[in-house]
Structures are given as C-alpha cells and as structure tokens.
Amino acid sequence: MSPSTGKIVGISGNMVTVEFDGNIMQNEVAYILKGEERLKSEIVRIGDSVAFMQVFESTKGLKIGDKVEFSGELLSVQLGPGLLGQVYDGLQNPLPDLAEEYGFFLPRGVELKALDDERKWKFTPVANKGDTVIQGMLLGHVPEGIFEHAIMVPFHLPGEYTVEDIAAEGEYAIKETIAKIKDEKGNTHEISMTFNWPVKIPIEAYRDKIVPEEPLVTQARIIDTFFPVAKGGTFCIPGPFGAGKTVLQHILSRHAQVDVVIVAACGERAGEVVELLREFPELEDPRTGKTLMERTIIICNTSSMPVAAREASVYTAVTLGEYYKQMGLDVLLLADSTSRWAQAMRELSGRLEEIPGEEAFPAYLESRIAEFYERSGLMELNSGEYGSLTIGGTVSPAGGNFEEPVTQATLKVVGAFLGLSRDRANARRFPSIHPLESWSKYESFIDQKNIDEATDKLRRGNDVNQMMMVVGEEGTSIEDFQLYLKSEFLDSVYLQQNAFDEVDAATNKERQTHVFQRVQQVLDTDFHLESKDQARDLFNRLRQLFIDWNYAKMDSPDFKQIEESIEKLIKEHSENEENLQ
Amino acid sequence: MRKIYNKIQNISGNVISVKASDVSYEELAEITTQRGKSLAQVIKMDDENVSLQVFTGSRGVSINDEVRFLGRPMEVTFSDNMLGRIFDGAGSPRDKGPLLTENLIPVAGPSVNPSKRIIPRRMIRTNIPMIDVFNSLVVSQKLPIFSVSGEPYNELLARIALQAEVDMIILGGIGLKYDEYMKFKNTLESGGALSRSIFFMNTASDPIVESLMVPDLSLAVAEKFALKGKDVLVLLTDMTNFADAMKEIAITMEQVPSNRGYPGDLYTQLAARYEKAVDFDDAGSITILAVTTMPGDDVTHPVPDNTGYITEGQFYLHNGYIDPFGSLSRLKQQVNSADQSRKDHRAIMDGMIQLYAQFMETEEKRAMGFRMSGWDQKLLKYGGMFRSQMMDLSVNIPLEEALDRGWEIMAKCFTPEETRMRTELIKEFWPKNTDQ
C-alpha cells in the first residue's frame, strides 16, 4: 500500500488543513514537502475529506497547494541501547548532532537518527533455542553505561513465540538481527536490538501492576520524611514563578536514588537545561562512581521551540521511561512543566475551534493528564522481575493560584502534592515546599506517629506566630513562645536544606532517621526557661549547632562531637531528667 | 511581477481579507490606499481567502484598494550604518537619515539549539548598587522591570543604557509616549551613547500593528550583531503594550481567549522573544531588559505572570526604588562568588538585606505603636541610611565603592557582631574609624 498524499488547503498558526486521497488514520505522522525541507506533522482531527494537522515546526512560508505525504505510522520513538546520556528534542532528534551539522540555530524540516546505527554493542544471549517467550521477555543483553541493557522481545508482538535462532555472543550493531522467533502460526520474525513504539500508547508488556509502597529516597528531608514518594508513584510540584520548582527538580534529578532519570524540559527556559547539559557530564553519581549523565536522558523542548513538539516531548519522555522500566530498573521521570504541555494542548484546541472548557483549556485536559500520570507504576514484569516508573511533574499555575484547571486536574491523580509557597521562597526558606499544605498518600520510612506529632508542633507554633503578630511578644505566654520557637527550629534545621552545600544537599535514609530522632528529642523536651530572651538564646544556639551538624559528614569526628554538644545543651536546660532517653 | 489584487473581501479591526492564490504564510503585502502605502502580513489562509493584518491599521482602507504581495516575509536591514539611527515598527527610518535597503535579514528566525548555549558567567556592570550588588545583571539574562504606570522605569532604562558595560544598545519602544521617546533620545544623545545605539520606535500615536513587529526587529538585528561578536543589550518598553496589541489581533481573528481576553499562546509568544537572549559559544551575546507595567500593581495579571515564568528573575520597581525583596536575579550566583567578584560581595548582599528586612519589621511595629528598643532604634537609623545611600536611584557608584559604602553604613549603625558577618570579613573590611 503506497502512503496517501494530499495538499494544503488552509493555514492558521501551526495548524494546517489538508485535502487528501486514500486512507489516513488519527494521529498519523505526515510530512509537508517544501523544497528540501520535510516538515513533520501529526493528524489531530479528520473531517469531511480534510485532515487537520498540527505541524511540529514553523509554518512560515508554506503555501496553499503545498504537497503532503502521509507516513502510515503513528508518532513513534526509537528504542534500543544508546539512549542513556542523550539530549533529544521533543521528537527524539539528538540536539548535539543537530548543532554539529547545522550550527547555532535549529534547522527546520530535518530529522536525524535517534540512535547510532553503526556503533557495535557487545551482545550476550540469555534465551536459548527452543525457549518460549512473550513480549517484553529477555533475549539477551548489552552493557550500556552502568547497566546491562536488556534486549527484549518487542512489545508490539502479541502471543507466544518460540526462539528459533539466537545470535552468539559478539559485537553487533542495533539493526542487525540477533534472534529469530516463530509465532504460533509458524511465521518467523527477525528481531534486532531496536524497534519503534508509538509514544501516545502505553507499553503494557508486563504481568501485573502493583501498589507502590517502597519509598523512593530523594535525599530531600522534607520530602522523604514528611511527604514521601513511592517507587512507581506520582507526585506534583505546583508553585508560582520564583518559588524554586526547577531548582527542586534539578536537586531531585541529581540526588534521587534511582537507576535512570529522565528529565523532560517542556516549554521552560533554555538556560536551565543548559545547566544540566553542561554540569551533568562533570558531576559524579555517588552510587556508581560514573557521571550523572550516564544515568540521565534529557528531553528538551524549551519555550521558544515549536509548540506542537512541546506536546509530543512529554510523551516521548514517558515512553523512554517505560522502556527502561521494562528492564527491571527504577526510573524517575521529571516533567518540567506540565502546565506548558497543557498550554500546548490549549493552543491546539483553540486552532481546532473546539468548544473551550475552563480558562479555555480543552474539555479533555483532565483525562489527558490522568492518562499521563497513570503510565507510572510498579510492575511485575513478564520475566518475574520488578520495574518501576515514578512520575513527578511541576505545575506552573497562572498567578500562583492552585485553583486553576491544570493544578486541580493533576491533584486528582497524583499520590503526593508538594506545593511550593511564594512566602517561603521570599523568606529564602528552601526547598519552599509548604509543610502545612502539602500531602502524600505514601508511607515514609519514619514512623507516621512521630511525623504527625512533629507536624502538630509545626501547626501550633504557626498559630502562635499568627497570634503574636496581633498581640506582640509581650502578650504571649512563655509556653506558647517555646512552642513557636520549636516550630521555627524544626523548620530551619530539618525542613530547610542548603542545596549548595556538598553535605547538606543530600541526606540519605540512615542520616535522616538519625537526625530526626534528635530533632524530635528537642521538640519533646520541656525546657526550663525563665524569660523569652533566654528561650530565644537557647534555641538560637540549638539551631546553630544543628545547622553545623547538617554540614558535617556523617562519618567525620565533627559529626560525633557536635552531637555531643547538642546532647549536653539539651540536658542543661531540660526541666527534669526523665524526658531524656 | 507579483500579482496585484484589488478586491478586498472583508475588513474587520485591523485585519483585511482578499481572495488570492500562490501566497505564502506570513508573507508581506503592500496596500495602497488614499492615505498612502502600508505593509500588511498574512496571518491566516483558508483556501483562497487570505487574511492580512495591516500595519498602519484598516482606517480608510477601501474595498477597491490595491493589494500587492511582495513574495517575502518580514525583513529588516542589517549593517553598521544602523548605529545611531532611529527606525519605526515597519523598519523604515523615522529620523531624517537615508533609507537603508542593503543586506536584508528575515525576522523571527529559528531558535538557538540549547546545546550551543553556554552557562553565562560575566556580569554587566550598571553602577546602580541595587543591581550590581544585590541583583547583578548577567550577560544573556532576560529580565523584566515590573512596575506600575508613573514609576520612573524609562528613566531607569535610559540610565542602564548609558552606563551598562556592553558594546551596543538596541532600544525597542512599543506604544511609547512621544515625550518619553524624546527623553530617551535626548538622554542618550547628551550622554554620548547614541552612536552605539539603534532605536526601533513605535510611539503611542503610531499604528498598533507595527508595535507587534518592534521586538522581532530589535532582536533580529541584535542576533546578527551578537553573531559578529558584539555584546548587545536590548531594551524593550513596554511589553504589556505588546501583549495588548496581540490580544487585539487575536480577538479580531475570533480566537478563543484564555485569560482576561489574552490569547492562549501568550506564553509562547512572549517566550519566543525573550528566549532570544543568549550567550553564544565563541561569539557575542544578547541581554534583554524589558519594562512590563502591571495593570493595578497586580503581579498575577496574565502579562507579568507569564513573563515571570519565562524570564530569569525580575526587577521590581516600587515607589521609586528597586525593591530588594520583590526583585530577583536568578543568575547572580553565576557572577558574585569570591573568585568572580570581591570576596565580601555575597556577604554584603545577604547581610544587608537581612538587616533591611528586620528594619521593615521594626517599622511595622513602630507604625502599630509598639515600644522601640535600643536595637529597634539602630535598625531605624540603618533603614534610613540604606534607603538614601543605596536604594535611591540617583546613586551612581561602581560595585567596589558600593560594597565599601555598605560596610560604612553598617559601621555607623551597628557593632560588628550585630551584623552577623563572618569574623574574617569583619577583620578585613570593617572601617577603622567610625563615628558610632
């Protein structure tokens, strides 16, 4: 069947209408031919003998009557070894390769190979001749950076297969055949190390989806202790501009204890991506000793790049995440920002002249957001192993108001809400996650009872603070004042974390458990205090000690020594000895 | 010869439509009316129906007027001869100088490949302490000046234009009042900076559609100069007018509005301009400072709100001061560390602001009638000096002098310990003779 063709009959922004002959399908990829350029586009609606297509590039200079070639395929990404460490645009074009070939500016109508066809990979077979396999099962593996990259039965092959032939250990390029498998009808399929998968369709080549329980350690204290995220779970980070969303995402992408991190920079500032691009190849991943870049894939469609490709970039990222999850790895996908993705949908919807929903977002906004987050999960794979994909998205609500459609639609489907507050950011309290408004449905590695008690102190201390603004310090009792100082203490030594300090930037599980106990001890101790000045002085000293403690390496003599000073100080001021352990 | 059409089908707002064929998207056309000639740009094509936005507006366009398609998109001339010249929003001279037609370049070109960008590490000194010390401007940064009408934002912009350490200035005026435009021109002229400046000027009395072109023209020219190795500072005033012009066209075109009537692609449109700010690997740079007036002093208004999400911080001009709390330069960390600037830079930056924050609290307490302690009195003295000797926009001193002045102010108000400065810095920088 030769692909269908058509011609342009209308243009408005990045939306073109095309008259076509032959068969076309929804979400099929088509190319607009303009001289040497081939402008990639996607069918988004089919009407009476016309197709509406969103163009992934600038439509400048297109004419009525320009030729269109349909591809017969859905928008897809290429999967296979060599994805890690790459920097792609929203359509999986490698940006460094584009720069090498075309210089400073992004060319229009160019597609480059996502993976290197020529590079040889050392293949080790795992499956044997005669084995029965199904989609997603392991045929062999190749080393990719720090992992064994699994070569699996492609996910688009349904049913059972018998392995007829498998390549011997050796060096192969990704397109060479490494196995032949026979289906139930006796047809033989040749398998290489790479295949394509349509981005908007979830990969479902696993046995079962399981409730996520094991905490994903992000090494950010306020998250791990108070608002934890589970491996295979979902979370969102809404916040107004300047509250530190992107900085928080960068911290997570650096310190989260997972195997693979996928960063989707979707419609945000190019400068921020540049920091990742330039710094990750230099930074060491303490878990593996290799650079952070070797566990990272960056999908980068910044705000000035074409808006339709921005919409695609989120799907590209989640598909790559699903692929690595299928290998039994823990994957973290960070999407910054989902609001820009939603805005891309809104622009498209407007050009399609659809009836608008709230704030002109399309009516299907909620279901699209839900579909996206539902692609996360902890899965029991066909091989019997487990893999997880955790999805965290930032949300940029208009005017910083969480009562807007994107935030609300997201809150319905995520397991943890890390709401950033402008007040906390202005007061330079970072990470600026609001400790009283955020929530998580997952379980922390610290006992829930202890967390509830700490949160309670925080809330009551905050109430005292509100009251003091009216009645002044003079009108506050010493007990209430102590409560207020305790809540401030918890905030400044535990909830806040200095991302620029080498030690304080990342607190692992062991250390969090240890430090939290001490913090709790301070919170639980009824200090013997006579005046407010004395109280303030004591807590200033406690705070200073704890902050120094946070900056000390855990195995250092300083760490021990500061802890002793802390103990001593608490002892000196506590009313009776029974409160001490 | 291009085909000429003289039957205009429809006129609505500043958009006209004609039946035409073989027209390209975003192509320019020339319309001859009884008022003269005007450019127009294709913004929508539906089969034979081509919609164009008319640069000088549709007033006086008759249905029999002549529309001639030019077969090219919007272009602007580019050469060193542009320096010192003033152009309008269509790219034609508005001073009395000769028409420049050589070396035409397209506007609104493709975006820069992120992998060709570098992390900016150079400060642009402005000799304004509230910028240099507290929120340093960095090469390739894009920063809006948020303010309300009536604030001296254009004066601030003109001073930065005069004093900033850059190779050249491009000033884009969007719906600027005529006398503001003249003030800019006179200030730069008398300061001797006109010869390194280019103006693209659309005043409030000029056609509104032309104002839409001003950022694109300014940035297209800036980009070419940057590629030739120049550090270019682009000043735009006022981007809220730009957004309003976009709103007007979008509503004329019956697009579904998203928030307060602004089109759904407001973020994308603003980002397409601001993201032109860049530090090229092995070439020059573009830095953008853009005034964004906030209707009703409301930072959640769609224009400042979307802008804030795009830009790398903001200067918040409030009551004639650059507000130290609302303002933020996200890139300042890249240029103010001990090995890039003086080693007390960060300490002064943080320390003085913390003290100023305490002063604000004290002032609030005083306003509510609470008793003032000795410490409060010290803070009040400090706050006053900080305002008049640092924040005042007329203060014009280099960074090092500003840092010294910071120490002097603190020494006049506090003992060294009260400032919470690190001991080693106090040893080195605390003034020896103080009159406290």
**Per-residue pLDDT reduced to its tens digit, A470-491:** 887 778 899 999 999 999 999 9
Mean pLDDT of A296-325: 93
Out of B110, B112, B268, name the one closest to residue A307 (CB): B268
Residue (of A462, A494, A501, A464) closest to A479 by Cα position: A464
For domain A448-579, give the CATH number: 1.10.1140.10
**Per-residue pLDDT reduced to its tens digit, B70-83:** 999 999 999 999 99
**Per-residue pLDDT reduced to its tens digit, A80-135:** 999 999 999 999 999 999 999 999 999 998 999 999 999 999 999 999 999 999 99
The C-alpha of A361 sits at a distance from chain B's nearest C-alpha, in angstroms, of: 8
Q: Which residue has the tokens 């979830």?
A: A202
Running DSSP on this structure, what letter comes out for residue B322? Answer: E
pLDDT tops 50 at residue A577:
no
**Nearest residue of A to residue B308 by CA position?**
A241
pLDDT tops 70 at residue A1:
no
The C-alpha of B267 sits at a distance from chain A's nearest C-alpha, in angstroms, of: 8
CB spacing of B227 vs A353 below 8 angstroms: no
pLDDT tops 60 at residue A159:
yes
Asked, as a colleague might, if the bond just before A431 is cis with ω within 30 of 0, I would say yes
What tokens appear for A529 in the block? 């205090």
- The Cα B287–Cα B276 span in angstroms is 9
Four-way CATH pick for A78-107+207-440: 2.40.160.100, 1.10.760.10, 3.10.290.10, 3.40.50.300? 3.40.50.300
**Per-residue pLDDT reduced to its tens digit, B285-303:** 999 999 999 998 998 899 9
CB spacing of A103 vs B116 below 8 angstroms: yes
Out of B73, B115, B271, name the one closest to residue A303 (CB): B271
Question: How many residues does this entry show for chain A?
Answer: 581
What tokens appear for B328 in the block? 């933020």
pLDDT tops 50 at residue A519:
yes
pLDDT band at residue A576 using 50, 70 and 90 as cut-offs: low
- The Cα A468–Cα A480 span in angstroms is 10
- The Cα B256–Cα B306 span in angstroms is 18
Residue B135: other Cβ atoms inside 10 A: 24
Residue A2: the pLDDT is 62
Out of B22, B110, B305, name the one closest to residue A105 (CB): B110
CB spacing of B312 vs A104 below 8 angstroms: no
Residue A581: the pLDDT is 42
Asked, as a colleague might, if the bond just before A337 is cis with ω within 30 of 0, I would say yes
Domain range summary for chain A, segments of one domain joined by +:
5-74, 78-107+207-440, 120-193, 448-579
CB spacing of B114 vs A98 below 8 angstroms: no
What tokens appear for B224 in the block? 């070419």
CB spacing of A274 vs B119 below 8 angstroms: yes
pLDDT band at residue A235 using 50, 70 and 90 as cut-offs: very high
Q: Is B265 within 8 Å of chain A by CB?
A: yes
End-to-end CA distance of chain B: 82
Residue B419: the pLDDT is 85
The C-alpha of B173 sits at a distance from chain A's nearest C-alpha, in angstroms, of: 22
Mean pLDDT of A339-348: 91
**Per-residue pLDDT reduced to its tens digit, A29-64:** 999 999 889 999 999 999 888 999 999 999 999 999
* Chain A residues within 8 A of B314 when measuring between CB atoms: 242
Per CATH, is A5-74 categorized as 2.40.10.170? yes
* Chain B residues within 8 A of A278 when measuring between CB atoms: 118-119
Residue A155: the pLDDT is 94
CB spacing of B268 vs A106 below 8 angstroms: no
Out of A305, A343, A356, name the one closest to residue B267 (CB): A343
Residues 165-184 of B with CB under 8 A from A: none
Q: Which residue of B17, B25, B281 is the best one to mutate when testing the A interface, meaning the one whose CB has the most A CBs within 10 A?
A: B25
Out of A269, A277, A356, name the one closest to residue B256 (CB): A356
Return the CATH fold of B4-73.
Answer: Thrombin, subunit H (2.40.10)
- The Cα B226–Cα B78 span in angstroms is 12
Residue A112: the pLDDT is 93
Residue B354: the pLDDT is 86
pTM, full prediction: 0.92
Domain range summary for chain B, segments of one domain joined by +:
4-73, 76-334, 345-429
pLDDT tops 80 at residue B433:
no
Residue B418: the pLDDT is 84
CB spacing of B116 vs A278 below 8 angstroms: no
Contact between B209 and B57 under an 8 Å Cβ cutoff? The reply is: yes
What's the mean pLDDT when you consider all of chain A? Answer: 92
Q: How many CB pairs under 8 A join A and B?
A: 168
CB spacing of A360 vs B268 below 8 angstroms: no
**Per-residue pLDDT reduced to its tens digit, A429-452:** 889 999 999 999 999 999 999 999
- The CA distances from residue A213 to A289, A441, A444, in Å, are 28, 10, 9
**Per-residue pLDDT reduced to its tens digit, B20-76:** 999 999 999 999 998 888 999 999 999 899 999 999 888 889 999 999 999 999 999
Residue A35: other Cβ atoms inside 10 A: 8
Task: Classify each residue of A336-374 as buried b or exposed e, where b means 16 or more C-beta atoms within 10 Å of its C-beta.
Answer: bbbbbbbbbbbbbbbbeebebeebbbbeebbebbeebbe
Four-way CATH pick for A120-193: 2.40.50.100, 3.40.630.30, 3.40.50.10800, 3.30.1490.110? 2.40.50.100
CB spacing of A360 vs B257 below 8 angstroms: yes
Out of A271, A279, A350, name the one closest to residue B256 (CB): A350
Q: Is B282 within 8 Å of chain A by CB?
A: no
Contact between B218 and B236 under an 8 Å Cβ cutoff? The reply is: yes
DSSP string, A461-502: HHHHHHHHHHHTGGGS-HHHHHHHHHHHHHIIIII---TTST
Bigger pLDDT: B102 or A566?
Answer: A566
* Chain B residues within 8 A of A277 when measuring between CB atoms: 114-115
Residue B361: the pLDDT is 86
**Nearest residue of B to residue A58 by CA position?**
B110
Phi-psi label, residue A109: left if phi above 0, alpha if psi -120 to 50, beta otherwise: left
Residue A33: the pLDDT is 95
CB spacing of B45 vs A11 below 8 angstroms: yes
DSSP string, A33-55: EETTEEEEEEEEEE-SSEEEEEE
Angle, in degrees to the nearest 10, between helices A245-255 and A270-279: 20
Q: Is B375 within 8 Å of chain A by CB?
A: no
Residue A209, φ and ψ in degrees, nearest 5? -105, 130
- Helical H segments across B200-312, by residue range: 208-227, 239-252, 266-274, 302-310
The C-alpha of A203 sits at a distance from chain B's nearest C-alpha, in angstroms, of: 30
The C-alpha of B192 sits at a distance from chain A's nearest C-alpha, in angstroms, of: 33
CB spacing of A95 vs B114 below 8 angstroms: yes
Residue B162: other Cβ atoms inside 10 A: 18
Residues 70-109 of B with CB under 8 A from A: 73, 108-109
For domain B76-334, give the CATH number: 3.40.50.12240
* Chain B residues within 8 A of A96 when measuring between CB atoms: 115
pLDDT band at residue B264 using 50, 70 and 90 as cut-offs: confident
pLDDT band at residue A579 using 50, 70 and 90 as cut-offs: very low
Mean pLDDT of B374-395: 93
